[in-house]
Structure 1
């Protein structure tokens, strides 16, 4: 059995929002979108808006949850965010270093940020890398 991790998409998040607004139980929401109930519970907990000053605005908003999820991907991609580190990695790849050699802490110059070889491989095969 091959289980692949797939993140919720905007359609699923919109369905969660609609069914929560209709007071649908989480188990039914999960069944409707084809996800495990724990996935839906985590999604709601992670992206539920709660404000004491604006209690009428409290709730789950699918579009905002999608925007947050997209932003988290960018934050996680260290080589997209950190220009100096990216330049170092690209320079080392250009002189035929492997991602494992680049990730070796002993090979580092004086960069304070570290990167693991899996991150380098992910960057090399990403759309961002292809555009450079």
Structure 2
């Protein structure tokens, strides 16, 4: 067998080995992750909303509200992506883009608020005092 045939065969094998799993993932494998993220987002959203009711400290309440906003944003964002990936129509693209933008804005705003209130809590309680206890 000539040497160039062996090299081409090895190159073809390595190309299939490296690129095949990335390019040829099935649609059901991709579709599985979105419902899991959506369900986790809703569960954490409810968790943070209940945590707001349990605490009396105003700063902790607004921090939990910011965290719940992040969860709501990720829910809306991934719901929009899931709808487009599932239906693959032009209408689902527009609706998915709208949900993606709105969810991204909620996620970004919640992240900024949570970071701000976390820093405020650290500034007001340098010794690590927890107001909930």
TM-score range, shorter chain: under 0.3
Larger Rg: 2
Q: TM-score normalised to the size of structure 2?
A: 0.26
TM-score by length of 1: 0.26
Larger fraction in helix: 2
Larger RCO: 1 or 2 (CA < 8 Å, sep 6+): 2
